[in-house]
Amino acid sequence: MRRALGIAVFTAGVVAAGTGAAQDAYVIGVTAGMTGPAAATYAPVIDAMKAYLDHVNAKGGINGRQVRLIITDDAGEPSRAGANAKRLISEKALMVVNSSLSSTFAPILAETKRAGIPLYFAGAVCPKETYPPADPLQFCSTAFGATLDSQAALAFVRSQAKEPVRLGLAAMAIPIARSEIDYAEGLSKTLGMTPVEKQITPPPAPDYTPFATKLKEANPNWVYSWAPWVSQVRTFEALRRLGWNGRYVTWAHLNAEEELVRLKDGELYVFGTNAFFQDDLPIHAEIRAVTHKANLKYPTTYLTEGFIAGLVIESVLTNTPWPPTPAKVTAAMNNLKVDLKGLRGGPLEWTKDNHFRTRQYYRVWKWDPAKQAVVRVQDWVPIDVKQ
């Protein structure tokens, strides 16, 4: 009897301590494609974000409180993402972070809207609801931005081209990439370019030679591709194998810096909004130190996006008074300015109507065969994000 009572008291104490610890922490829920076909895109973001927040916790936390991350894996599957969101809400998450395929957005959003909890896309493509006029509960810090990216890319092409541009276009058969490349096709005509061929490749394709063959036959002197990296780079490599010698401009995904070194092609241009590690900024040293301590298995150059997500969450929670509630977190997110320490061209700013950012900055890089190094071809060019 006494033994049973002792066990009961001990158990109650453990539960109470756990509950108290949870209540004493900012709880952030994450549902991400940690496994599955797109894990290479999303898992590094979450791992880097976690490493940064663990680092913040080790330094004493935020406002004297720890940040508790609950990470769930949806493997890019909508049903799992919806179930994860339910679980995270039941565990009193103040915010749900999504880093997964766009097919997971709807089920997560259904749950977070019902619960009145902000949904933060970090590493996942920014839905148009984060652009002005923004949905009250959707926020996004992911680097790439629909329509803005094509504006930046084609402006670069026009600045570099010394002859009339015959533009080839390549994308993957997913809605966001198709609509972006369709937009680019229309935009290119207004800029005096001639779109000569557009290839939409299925996800995934084991061999891109057939698609590259059609592109090459149209004889473009420039090709613009906006798609997951695998589609972008395989199309490029297939074009080169077929003997095409033109210039290729494409979005700088997580692995772009490393891939430029691997490919060593002087006519491959990548454009993006995150600074490369070759800049060797103080923040890059910090990323290296933090992620080395966390023993992350990804190359350091993959981790900028996740670090930015960590900086954003830190800033949001710093401005969230205790005790936190989803409404207070949302209020903090509606009036946010995060110093990214050079990781992007400027601070990340969210307002009540703009949950994407007020200004997007772009750089362009390529491999320089003479210097045997990645070089910056164009420094930060800002584009205002308007309604």
Q: Which of 29, 44, 220, 345 touches another protein by CB under 8 A?
A: 44
The answer to whether 167 and 196 are in contact (CB under 8 A) is yes
Give the DSSP H/E element, type plus range, for residue 118.
Answer: none
Q: Which window, 239-247, 335-343, 350-358, 365-373, contacts another protein (CB under 8 A)?
A: 239-247
Q: Which of 185, 237, 267, 286 touches another protein by CB under 8 A?
A: 237
Q: Which one, of 345, 346, 349, lies nearest residue 379 by Cα?
A: 345
Q: Which window, 80-88, 201-209, 267-275, 360-368, contacts another protein (CB under 8 A)?
A: 201-209
* Residue among 269 and 302 whose Cβ is closer to another protein: 302
Considering the rule CB under 8 A, would residue 294 count as an interface residue with another protein?
A: no
- Rg of the chain taking only CA atoms, in angstroms: 22
Tokens representing 43?
């898992």
* Residue among 38 and 275 whose Cβ is closer to another protein: 38
Considering the rule CB under 8 A, would residue 288 count as an interface residue with another protein?
A: no
Q: Which window, 34-42, 61-69, 81-89, 107-115, contacts another protein (CB under 8 A)?
A: 34-42
Q: Which of 114, 189, 262, 337 touches another protein by CB under 8 A?
A: 262
The answer to whether 42 and 78 are in contact (CB under 8 A) is no
Residue at token pair 């401005």: 319
What is the closest distance, in whole angstroms, from the C-beta atom of residue 82 to another protein in the complex? 22
Considering the rule CB under 8 A, would residue 243 count as an interface residue with another protein?
A: yes
What is the closest distance, in whole angstroms, from the C-beta atom of residue 55 to another protein in the complex? 22
Tokens representing 152?
């930046």
Q: Which window, 88-96, 113-121, 159-167, 232-240, contacts another protein (CB under 8 A)?
A: 232-240
Which amino acid, 311?
L
Considering the rule CB under 8 A, would residue 204 count as an interface residue with another protein?
A: yes
Considering the rule CB under 8 A, would residue 211 count as an interface residue with another protein?
A: yes
Considering the rule CB under 8 A, would residue 369 count as an interface residue with another protein?
A: no
Considering the rule CB under 8 A, would residue 298 count as an interface residue with another protein?
A: yes
Considering the rule CB under 8 A, would residue 199 count as an interface residue with another protein?
A: yes
Q: Which window, 16-24, 83-91, 122-130, 195-203, contacts another protein (CB under 8 A)?
A: 195-203
The answer to whether 106 and 78 are in contact (CB under 8 A) is yes
Q: Which of 302, 356, 362, 365 touches another protein by CB under 8 A?
A: 302
Which amino acid, 202?
P
Considering the rule CB under 8 A, would residue 16 count as an interface residue with another protein?
A: no
Q: How far is CA 199 from CA 161, 182, 184, 206, 257, in A?
A: 22, 11, 13, 16, 25
The answer to whether 312 and 348 are in contact (CB under 8 A) is yes
φ, ψ at 128 (rounded to 5°): -65, -20
Residues contacting another protein: total by CB under 8 A? 35
Considering the rule CB under 8 A, would residue 297 count as an interface residue with another protein?
A: yes
In sequence order, the 6+-apart residues with CB closer than 8 A to the CB of 319 are 332, 335, 336
* Residue among 78 and 203 whose Cβ is closer to another protein: 203
3-state secondary structure of 269: strand
C-alpha to C-alpha distance for 72 and 88, rounded to whole angstroms: 8
Considering the rule CB under 8 A, would residue 200 count as an interface residue with another protein?
A: yes
Considering the rule CB under 8 A, would residue 78 count as an interface residue with another protein?
A: no
Burial class for 79, CB neighbours closer than 10 Å (0-12, 13-18, 19+) = exposed
* Residue among 26 and 276 whose Cβ is closer to another protein: 276
Q: Reply yes or no: is the peptide bond before residue 323 cis, omega within 30 of 0.
A: yes
Cα 67–Cα 73–Cα 79 angle in degrees, nearest 5? 125
C-alpha to C-alpha distance for 269 and 248, rounded to whole angstroms: 6
What is the total residue count of the chain?
387
* Residue among 208 and 269 whose Cβ is closer to another protein: 208
Q: Which of 106, 110, 242, 373 touches another protein by CB under 8 A?
A: 242
* Residue among 232 and 320 whose Cβ is closer to another protein: 232
Tokens representing 16?
């109470």
Query: Where along the sequence are the contacts to another protein (CB under 8 A)?
Result: 35, 37, 39-40, 43-44, 173, 199-202, 204-208, 210-211, 213-214, 229-230, 233-234, 237, 240-243, 255, 262, 297-299, 302
